[in-house]
Amino acid sequence: MRVIVRRCEGVTSHLLNPSCRPVSNFRFHQLNPVAGSTRRLARWITTKCSLAGSKHAAIISSRVRRQEFHSDPTRTATLKQEFNSILAAAQPDLVMEAFLNPDYYELVAQLPQGVFVEAFRLLSPSYFIEPYKELHDLLSSRVARRKRCTAIQVIYDEFATKLSTIIRMRQLAGHATSLAEYTHLLDCAQSLGDGLMADYIWHSMSKAGVSPDVACYNHYMESKIWNGCHAGQEQYRIRITPWAYWRRRNADSEGWNNYGTGPRSLKHEIRLICDEMLKVGLEPDERTMINVLLAISRTGFNPDMWKFLYDVWNVDVRELENGDRRSIVPIHRSSPVYPTSRLLWAVTHAFGASNDIPGALRVLDQISSSYGIEIPESVWVELLKRSYILSVRRHGRIGRTLRLGTVSYGFIRSTYETITTGPFKTKPTFDMHWFFAKAAWNWGNWQNLEAHMMLAYKMLEETRRKRKHAREMVESYLPPLESSDARINPDILRSRGFAEAVRAYDIIRLRCVQQTTIIERLARLCSRPRHHRVENPFYWARVLAPRVLEEWRDFLPEYFTYETPAGTVKIYGNTWVGRHSRVVSHDKVQVRRPIKAMASTPGSDTVDDDFIWAKYRDRMSTKEQNHPLLKLLIQPVLISEDIQPSELESEYEMELEDEEMELDQEVVSGNEVEANPTYREPYYEDEDYMNLFSKAEIEAREKKEVWFEHAFGYIRRPELAYE
């Protein structure tokens, strides 16, 4: 496999030789020695004495463990019985804990290959990664740290470290890694968005003589396309603009080097992998074609996407632009590239990231109607997310390049009406209300901001009810707080029901934190009258603003400032933005408090879950607190404010930066503008870059009109023109 060998030249995978010191000058990945490696690289390149680089995953010497294992027959039989019961339960958390437990090292090493593969597949990213990745999409790493949540990058690193430890254990026992294990590892790499991890796994397969199948190729291409797109600054910089295209040409651009354009084009890299797949005689399927489509979209040259859609799925985008809605000739259902809902999401993302929301609507309607595919909720969320990003006003030195494909607030409002009414009748999600509320604030529509904020709060109340039910399920396995005996039965900690209850509660609790954080942001946005188009600013300052502060005071910090026409109003209190995880000083849940309510607000006397788990933590022994499942419960508990008052100003600036950065993609910070004060045009012979400026779009802006697609045809809407 010529291209793969060339990419990994000089690199020896940790999966084959853990004591290697790879050095490569390849332009895509510069691999440094272990001593200077990053955390992501260090988890795959470790020494023999440190198999995982992690304290909790360290493995005791196999010789010493073997002596202890055989010295006590009674203990050996007990361990075998416990281990077999864990495998029979098939609960991913328990299986992960058992594989990493030094007491079961010999049992893991002696497992037959077929049994180990089935158990290893239980450690799926769909269980350990995907639920958290979805919830962290609206939370930056700084906000997650401030809210005492585990950052998404930490979750990625821990999961990958545990997988590498388990594979290393099997290799030390003399078992060769099979195709099924490599396929699962590549699936984990694509879910993490870790292209470097996929490179090492792929090179290991080549060295071991394992021939990859179609699933391996698809996972490998996906890991390249989504490399670094799920964490850090890169997750907010997926949209392709002339500025982003220029920054990605250089591999040294921090925050932009997860994939490349121009001479280090991602499209060229995916094409080479796909060509290699065809050379070995494998037939591509729908996921393969979607990967190629997404790689093409990363260049920002839309005509290439149009041609690819027509060649594979018979979708003629040019005819759709001209108003010709003739039905396409669908491909046969038995074809491996027959489209599913996965293609709908990919098309929406590709066109939205390439600044063409009207085109995304046209193609989405054409494919769904021609192939009879129902549009899922995730597609609408992605469509509204991309629409909101393109509706944000762009300013500054590179504002002209960031205004490519801008849509108005009226366009977003019409999209919302189309989605929630007519033939679709989709129920809005919390993410949708956040997008619409933030767009309403950007365009000064106070009524819509307040309406979507109320709908989002109702969904938060429903999430809290689910959290209460999930907590009661977990508490049913634990000794009551009123009981004098606080010891937890060890058999309960190994039960499938308790593990599933803890995992379900942890996800619903994180969702509650996410929604509460969004409501706090919206409450702060409501206190900025300069963005609201009110006829009488004094009416806002003396009537509307006090009402907002009174109604949403639980979601605002006690130390707060806001501007009025007469000056700045400062409210002093005990909590600040950025210094405290909770913006209120009491131990009750945060609720909306209507001004005209005569009785107490429902739920205002409910104690927050963090303080309940703090009581359980105080009753637990040190060994119980270190148990993986119990640690998952008490880890986010608020112990004390660990941010010093001297850090208040910097943390406050971070909070403002988070509000500007999250989902306002490609908004360049002041530091970047100072570091690059002049904007250099790229080489004009670069065809992809020159085609970013579409003549049709420029003409549409000059005419102040746009064609908006409804469920029953195209309507000329000059009032929804590009701004």
CA distance 294 to 289: 9
pLDDT more than 90, % of the chain? 39
The 3-state DSSP composition of the chain as helix, strand, coil percent (nearest 5) reads: 60, 5, 40
pLDDT at 578 over 80: no
Q: What are phi and psi of 691, to 5 degrees?
A: -90, 0
Per the structure, the complete domain to which residue 156 belongs is given by 1-228
459-463, 544-548, 661-665: lowest mean pLDDT where?
661-665
Q: What is the pLDDT of residue 650?
A: 42
pLDDT more than 70, % of the chain? 75
Instruction: Give the confidence band of 398 by pLDDT, cuts at 50, 70, 90.
Output: low
Q: What is the pLDDT of residue 321?
A: 82
pLDDT at 638 over 60: no
In the numeric block, the tokens 């196999």 are attached to 62
567 SS3 class? strand
Find, among 435, 444, 344, 452, the residue nearest to 384 by Cα: 435
Find, among 162, 158, 234, 164, the residue nearest to 193 by Cα: 234
pLDDT at 387 over 80: yes
Of 190, 210, 228, the one marking the end of a domain is 228
pLDDT digits (tens, 9 = 90+) for 43-96: 443 333 333 333 333 443 444 444 455 567 888 888 999 999 999 999 999 999
**More confident of the two residues 300 and 640:** 300
pLDDT at 706 over 50: no
Q: Under a CB-based contact definition with an 8 Å cutoff, are residues 714 and 721 in contact?
A: no
Which of the residue ranges 5-14, 462-471, 480-489 has the most confident prediction, judged by mean pLDDT?
Answer: 462-471
Please give the full DSSP string across 334-388, using - where no structure is assigned: TSTT---HHHHHHHHHHHHHTT-HHHHHHHHHHHHHHHTPPPPHHHHHHHHHHHH
Which of the residue ranges 463-467, 488-492, 659-663 has the most confident prediction, judged by mean pLDDT?
Answer: 463-467
Instruction: Give the confidence band of 664 by pLDDT, cuts at 50, 70, 90.
Output: very low
Residue 319 lies in a domain: no
pLDDT at 708 over 80: no
Residue 575 lies in a domain: yes
**More confident of the two residues 603 and 199:** 199
Residue 301 lies in a domain: no
Q: Please, how many CA atoms are within 13 Å of residue 285, restricted to the half-sphere of its CB? A: 13
Residue 255 lies in a domain: no
Amino acid, single-letter form, for residue 315 = V
Instruction: Give the confidence band of 163 by pLDDT, cuts at 50, 70, 90.
Output: very high
Residue 389 lies in a domain: no
**More confident of the two residues 718 and 301:** 301
105-109, 139-143, 464-468: lowest mean pLDDT where?
139-143
Of 202, 228, 254, the one marking the end of a domain is 228
Instruction: Give the confidence band of 426 by pLDDT, cuts at 50, 70, 90.
Output: confident
CA distance 628 to 510: 17
Tally Cβ neighbours within 10 Å of residue 277.
Answer: 22
Instruction: Give the confidence band of 12 by pLDDT, cuts at 50, 70, 90.
Output: very low
In the numeric block, the tokens 């491909």 are attached to 331
Residue 308 lies in a domain: no
Q: What is the pLDDT of residue 28?
A: 32
Instruction: Give the confidence band of 396 by pLDDT, cuts at 50, 70, 90.
Output: low
Q: How far is CA 148 from CA 100, 373, 513, 599, 630, in A?
A: 26, 41, 10, 33, 16
Residue 214 lies in a domain: yes
**DSSP for residue 292:** H
Which of the residue ranges 8-22, 112-126, 618-632 has the most confident prediction, judged by mean pLDDT?
Answer: 112-126
Instruction: Give the confidence band of 140 by pLDDT, cuts at 50, 70, 90.
Output: confident
Find, among 499, 513, 517, the residue nearest to 631 by Cα: 499
Q: What is the pLDDT of residue 635?
A: 79
Tally Cβ neighbours within 10 Å of residue 585.
Answer: 11
Q: What are phi and psi of 513, to 5 degrees?
A: -65, -40
Q: What is the pLDDT of residue 210?
A: 94
**DSSP for residue 27:** S
607 SS3 class? strand
Q: What is the pLDDT of residue 38?
A: 39
Instruction: Give the confidence band of 546 by pLDDT, cuts at 50, 70, 90.
Output: confident
pLDDT at 492 over 80: yes
pLDDT at 393 over 80: no
Q: What is the pLDDT of residue 397?
A: 65
Instruction: Give the confidence band of 598 by pLDDT, cuts at 50, 70, 90.
Output: low
pLDDT at 718 over 50: no
Which of the residue ranges 50-64, 275-289, 641-655, 692-706 has the most confident prediction, judged by mean pLDDT?
Answer: 275-289
pLDDT at 714 over 60: no
pTM here? 0.80
Q: How far is CA 287 from CA 134, 137, 154, 290, 293, in A?
A: 21, 23, 28, 5, 10
Find, among 184, 20, 89, the residue nearest to 493 by Cα: 89
pLDDT digits (tens, 9 = 90+) for 257-271: 888 888 888 999 999
* Number of domains making up the chain: 2
Please give the full DSSP string across 697-713, using - where no structure is assigned: HHHHHHHT--EEEETTE
Of 228, 259, 283, the one marking the end of a domain is 228
Residue 607 lies in a domain: yes
What is the arithmetic mean of pLDDT over 129-147? 88
CA distance 667 to 358: 22
